[in-house]
């Protein structure tokens, strides 16, 4: 299902000859051309499927430190019909310029704002895009250098679920944003200019869910195969929700397990010490641990499907050893060659 673009605009933030940042505002929205729709559709798909996003909400000055409320106020005024989209986007551009000016490392970029509808929700997508040079071959076989927006490497982006924000202003997860490596936000300044604070620890929630699932199947009378099937059902449900851009709902997940003959997961999860929210965003890297074991350390990397534990892979916690039966053919070939060489 494609998105329905309502408004979109791009502003430029760049350095002048003295290294000072300035914001050049576009005076009118982008036309809803095929190029604009294709770009936003690509960004929507890239963003929706991006793993490891963080989730938050607009901060309250005083309760959430020195949260900047100007972006929220401008967005509220725009949503009330008292401010045009171009005027709202201009305020956002100036706010980002002011925030970027506090740092020495920033050279600016292209600020994209777009309001669009996907399924039953309205969204505001905000991203600071970089330009990238490329080479192309002309008809006369001459080379030409071009500059284009780097849509494949979106590192500074956030999306506001306007529908959820309006329906539940107290929600802690109507703003999603791209995280950096090692679970850190790529740039705090990008959230600061919007006045966004983190509300839901997505990785922690997903880890708690996995612990609840493991305890639930471990305390059941299921066979080993049935326990693995339960884990895979949980994984399939959660990844489907991730792919749809929807949240994991504990009640829905419990119903899925009940269909497989495993009742009472909801009461088990909510009655334990897991501190699970009723719903929260999925995190694919964490969820993969339901199906795979993997680890790296001391120059050794090991990964295998969970179904092999206790059969092809034997773990002895007392001696701190792992025995692998049936070494993969390509690895066995490498080992045999090395031993023959010795």
All residues at 6 or more sequence positions from 218 whose CB lies less than 8 Å from its CB, including other chains:
227
Q: Are residues 187 and 47 in the same domain?
A: yes
Is-contact 84 113, C-beta < 8 A?
no
pLDDT value at position 127? Answer: 94
* DSSP per-residue string spanning 63-75: TTBS---HHHHHH
Q: Are residues 111 and 157 in the same domain?
A: yes
Q: What domain range is 216 assigned to?
A: 203-289
Q: Are residues 13 and 134 in the same domain?
A: yes
| pLDDT tens, residue by residue, 4-33 | 999 999 999 988 777 788 889 999 999 888
Q: Are residues 81 and 190 in the same domain?
A: yes
292: helix, strand or coil: strand
| pLDDT tens, residue by residue, 152-172 | 888 889 999 999 999 999 998
Q: Are residues 157 and 219 in the same domain?
A: no
Last residue of a domain, one of 174, 200, 226: 200
Question: Residue 260 pLDDT more than 70?
Answer: yes
pLDDT value at position 70? Answer: 94
pLDDT value at position 112? Answer: 96
pLDDT (mean) for 244-257: 87
Last residue of a domain, one of 185, 200, 215: 200
Q: Are residues 213 and 191 in the same domain?
A: no
Total domains, the chain:
3
Q: Are residues 189 and 69 in the same domain?
A: yes
Last residue of a domain, one of 139, 170, 200: 200
pLDDT value at position 184? Answer: 47
pLDDT mean across residues, the chain: 87
pLDDT (mean) for 46-56: 84
Q: Are residues 300 and 311 in the same domain?
A: yes
184 to 129, 133, 220: CA distances (angstroms): 19, 28, 37
Give the predicted TM-score (pTM) of the model: 0.73
């Amino acid at each position: 299902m494609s998105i329905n673009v309502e408004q979109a605009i791009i502003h430029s933030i760049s350095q002048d000859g003295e290294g000072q940042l300035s914001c050049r505002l576009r005076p009118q929205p982008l036309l809803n051309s095929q190029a604009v729709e294709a770009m936003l559709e690509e960004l929507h798909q890239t963003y929706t499927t991006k793993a490891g996003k963080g989730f938050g909400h607009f901060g309250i000055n005083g309760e959430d430190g020195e949260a900047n409320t100007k972006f929220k106020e401008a967005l509220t005024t725009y949503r009330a019909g008292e401010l045009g989209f171009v005027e709202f986007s201009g305020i956002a551009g100036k706010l980002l310029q002011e925030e970027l000016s506090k740092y020495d490392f920033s050279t600016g970029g292209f600020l994209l704002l777009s309001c669009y509808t996907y399924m039953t929700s309205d969204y505001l997508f905000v991203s600071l895009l970089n330009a990238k040079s490329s080479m192309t071959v002309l008809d006369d076989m001459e080379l030409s250098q071009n500059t284009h927006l780097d849509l494949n490497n979106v590192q500074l982006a956030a999306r506001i679920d306007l529908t959820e924000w309006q329906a539940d202003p107290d929600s802690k997860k109507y703003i999603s944003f791209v995280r950096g490596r090692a679970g850190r936000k790529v740039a705090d300044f990008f959230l600061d200019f919007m006045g966004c604070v983190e509300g839901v620890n997505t990785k922690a929630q997903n880890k708690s869910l996995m612990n609840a699932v493991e305890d639930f199947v471990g305390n059941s009378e299921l066979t080993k195969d049935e326990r693995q099937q339960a884990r895979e059902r949980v994984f399939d449900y959660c990844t489907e929700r991730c792919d749809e851009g929807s949240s994991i709902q504990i009640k829905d997940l419990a119903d899925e397990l009940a269909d497989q003959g495993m009742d009472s997961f909801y009461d088990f999860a909510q009655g334990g010490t897991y501190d699970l929210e009723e719903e929260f965003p999925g995190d694919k890297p964490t969820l993969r641990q339901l199906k795979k074991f993997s680890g790296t350390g001391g120059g050794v990397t090991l990964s295998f499907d969970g179904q092999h534990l206790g059969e092809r892979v034997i773990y002895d916690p007392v001696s701190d050893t792992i025995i692998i039966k049936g070494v993969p053919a390509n690895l066995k070939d490498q080992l045999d060659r090395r031993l023959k060489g010795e």
